[in-house]
């Protein structure tokens, strides 16, 4: 597949016991874009769902866009290809469509046989030690990513959670320019300047957490009152178009020119999330929803790593 489908199926936090079935059902419902990662801890189950869909002829491999991500513990150049190969093995694939650096944070290496996925703690038995960092320049990691693409293990490479300064630096040294930036995007975090930078450099963008706080309530990283789906600007547009608030939020993201990767365990919502191409928000509706911006970042390692992992890991100032 040459172009990323604008609506993807996010795989973060899908429970292992249901993951294979949910991935199969998502593909059967029409999803052709799957957003995975080593750190999600369910790539083997994702692979089983993909394999079933391919075996039953629901789609062909060429019709799927599969993304995975390099975890922080594998930033050293000698570990990048190993990590990618492990994801391919778990997913049951010969190549990825896109491989992303998950965070601009290099952690100390944890061998596969010690613990996989490594997650954040270097030693979960000694949480007081927190996250152990490694002195690996991002440029070295990118060079290894380029080598992985040259070897045919992934068709494209890109980055997640980079700000504009890191992107500018990357563009200055990259022999292969990044094919994607994936960042948190929703009406409470519109990131206008970052999107303008990416547009200037023709860098496609995927927005994760496109529905805002929903994915973070169970992690106590958001409050019930922070739902964008209850805001009048969103609900009024939903009523006018005969759509749900979630469909309006996803349409807002797609209409801005970004791909979006909502997650759901509901078969009904799977289909609902795909049904955003038969209506268009007006300029006034787009502007009203964008005006909800409060620079509210739910997924910020500068916050959650300090609280959950006894470590200060700010990547956004």
Active site residues: 40
What is the edge-to-edge ordering of all strands in the sheet holding 259-260?
A: 9-10, 33-35, 65-70, 98-101, 157-160, 181-184, 205-208, 259-260
Listed in sequence order, the residues at least 6 apart from 246 whose beta carbon sits closer than 8 Å to its beta carbon are 211, 229, 262, 269, 272, 273
Contact 97, 67 (CB under 8 A): yes
C-alpha to C-alpha distance for 241 and 243, rounded to whole angstroms: 5
Q: Which of 209, 288, 258, 197 is nearest to 13 (CA)?
A: 209
C-alpha to C-alpha distance for 223 and 271, rounded to whole angstroms: 27
In the structure encoding, which two tokens stand for residue 15, read together? Answer: 């429970």
Q: Which helix (H) or strand (E) element contains residue 70?
A: strand 65-70
């Amino acid at each position: 597949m040459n172009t990323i489908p604008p609506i993807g199926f996010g795989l973060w936090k899908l429970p292992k016991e249901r993951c294979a079935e949910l991935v199969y059902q998502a593909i059967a419902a029409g999803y052709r874009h799957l957003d995975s990662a080593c750190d999600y801890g369910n790539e083997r189950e994702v692979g089983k769902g993909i394999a079933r869909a391919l075996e039953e002829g629901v789609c062909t491999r060429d019709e799927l866009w599969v993304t995975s991500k390099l975890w922080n513990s594998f930033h050293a150049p000698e570990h990048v290809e190993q990590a990618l190969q492990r994801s391919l093995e778990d997913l049951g694939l010969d190549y990825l469509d896109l491989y992303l650096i998950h965070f601009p944070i290099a952690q100390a290496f944890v061998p596969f046989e010690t613990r996989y996925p490594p997650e954040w703690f270097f030693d979960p038995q000694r949480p007081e030690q927190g996250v152990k960092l490694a002195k690996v320049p991002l440029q070295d990691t990118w060079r290894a990513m380029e080598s992985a693409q040259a070897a045919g293990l992934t068709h494209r490479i890109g980055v997640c959670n980079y700000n504009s300064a890191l992107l500018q630096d990357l563009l200055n040294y990259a022999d292969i320019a990044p094919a994607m930036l994936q960042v948190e995007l929703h009406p409470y975090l519109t990131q206008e300047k970052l999107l303008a930078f990416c547009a200037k450099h023709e860098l496609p963008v995927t927005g994760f957490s496109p529905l805002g706080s929903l994915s973070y309530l169970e992690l106590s990283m958001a409050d019930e009152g922070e739902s964008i789906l209850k805001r009048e600007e969103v609900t009024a547009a939903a009523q006018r178009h005969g759509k749900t608030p979630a469909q309006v939020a996803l349409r807002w993201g797609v209409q801005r020119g970004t791909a979006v990767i909502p997650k759901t365990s509901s078969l009904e919502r799977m289909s609902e999330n795909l049904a955003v191409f038969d209506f268009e928000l007006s300029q006034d509706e787009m502007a009203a929803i964008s005006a909800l911006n409060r620079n509210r970042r739910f997924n910020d390692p500068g916050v959650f790593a300090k609280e959950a992992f006894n470590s200060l890991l700010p990547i956004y100032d």
